[in-house]
Amino acid sequence: MKQTLFLAMTAMTIAVAAQGQRPTAKEQTILNVFGRLNLETDPFDNLNYWTDGGAFYRPFFNDPYEYDAKPRSNGDFIYLFGGTLHEGGWGVKVRLAADGKMTMAEDDYRFNKGDRVDHRIIDNQALLIFSDVRTGSVKEVWKKFDGNLFDRYIDGIYRYMLSGTHVVNSGGPTNGQVVIFDREKSVVSGLLLHRETPYTFVKDFGDTPIPTLFITKEMIYKVGKTLDGLELLPMKKDPDFEEEEWNPQDGDWLTEDLSKPFIRLVTADEEEGLPSGRFPLASVQVMTLTDLEMYAGQFRLPNLQIMRNEIYARHGHKFRAGGEMHTYFGKQMWYRPQYDDVTSKLTEVEQINITLIQVLEKKYAGEPAG
C-alpha cells in the first residue's frame, strides 16, 4: 500500500513538473491576455474580459467575423472583440510576435498601426496599455474585469461621483439641508422627507446606465459634477411620448423639467478613506478614458483641468501666483504648497492618469464649459 502510494505520488510529481515548464514569451502573453493557452475544446468560455470603460472585449485567435473559422491555439494575431451593453461589433486587431510583444496590426479610429500594447499589473489591477508608436505616450488603457459591464458602470464611477456629505446651496426652503449619498448601499438621505431613500440609475436605450437618478416618478435628477459639489437637474416625461408608453427609468423618454428648480449641492465631507480633493480616484487607480469622462461629468473641460492639477496639488506643488490653479487650490483646506516640482513624487498610477486626462483635455478644448 505504501509503495503504491509512493509510486502514485511520484508519477503525479513528474506530471506536474512536465506541465510546469516555463512558458515561452509568446505563451506568457497568450496566458496574460486570454487567461489560458488551449482554445480548442471550449473556445468561448472562461476567457479574460477587458474593458475600455465603455465596451467589453474578449480575445480570439480567429477573426470573429469569420464565423466558420476554427480557433487556433497559437496564432499570430489577437482579436479583441465585443461591444457595449447596447450593440456589438467593437474590436481591434493586435499583432502577436514570437517574443511576446504586442502591437496594433492596423489603423483604426483610435489607434495607429504599430502602436505598442503592453500587459501590465499595477496595484493588483491587470491592464492593457496602448502607447503611441511615435512618441511612446500612453493613448488608452483597458482593464481586465469580470465581464459584467452594467455593474462596472455603476460601481466603478457613478457611485464615486456622488458619494459624500453635501449641503443644499440653491436657495429655497431646503437651503442648508444635508444630503448624503451612500456609495455602498445606493441610497440617499435628505432629498425625500429627510429619510434614507433608495435610488437607481436611469438607462439609455433601455440597457446602459447614465448619471441620472430615479428616486420616484416625481423625483428624477440628472447629475452634474461641479468644482465644488453636484448639480441635480430635474427631469420629466418627454411630451413627445404618450403617457401609456412612458418608461420613467429610460433616459430616452426624459427631458429637462424647467418648472422645477435645480438643486445645487456643495460637498462638505467626501468619502472617508480616499485622498483629499474633488477627484480622488485619479490618485487611487488607473482609469480608462471613458472612466475619466464619466467621472468629470457634464462640465468636462474645467473638471478635467482641476482633476489633473489636483494630482500635483496633493503632493504640494506650488502653482503660479495669481493663476487660476493658484486661486482655486488656495481655497482648499487640505492644500499645502511646498514644492516647485513634484514630478518625482508622482505614482505610476498618477502618471498614467495625467497623460490620459491630457488626451481628453485636447479632445474637448474649445467646447463650451457646460
Q: What is the pLDDT of residues 318-362, one digit of tens each?
A: 999 999 999 999 999 999 999 999 999 999 999 999 999 999 999
Inter-residue contact 150 to 159 (CB < 8 Å): no
Q: Which CATH number fits domain 280-364: 1.20.58.1690, 1.20.1730.10, 1.20.1050.10, 1.20.1250.20?
A: 1.20.58.1690
More confident residue, 323 or 299: 323
> What is the pTM assigned to this prediction?
0.84
- Tell me 251's DSSP state: G
| Of the candidate ranges 48-57, 198-207, 305-314, the one whose mean pLDDT is the lowest | 198-207
Local confidence band at 40 (pLDDT 50, 70, 90 cut-offs): low
Name the residue with higher pLDDT: 150 or 122.
122
User: Is the model more confident about 296 or about 299?
Assistant: 296
For residue 296, what pLDDT band results from cuts at 50, 70 and 90? confident
User: Per-residue pLDDT averaged across 109-116, rounded?
Assistant: 95
Residues 6+ apart with CB under 8 A from 187: 181, 196, 197, 198, 199
The pLDDT of residue 239: 83
146-185 pLDDT tens trace: 988 888 888 766 777 888 889 999 887 888 889 998 877 8
Residue 130, amino acid: F
Residue 5 has pLDDT above 60, yes or no: no
**What distance separates the 2 farthest-apart alpha carbons in the chain?**
87
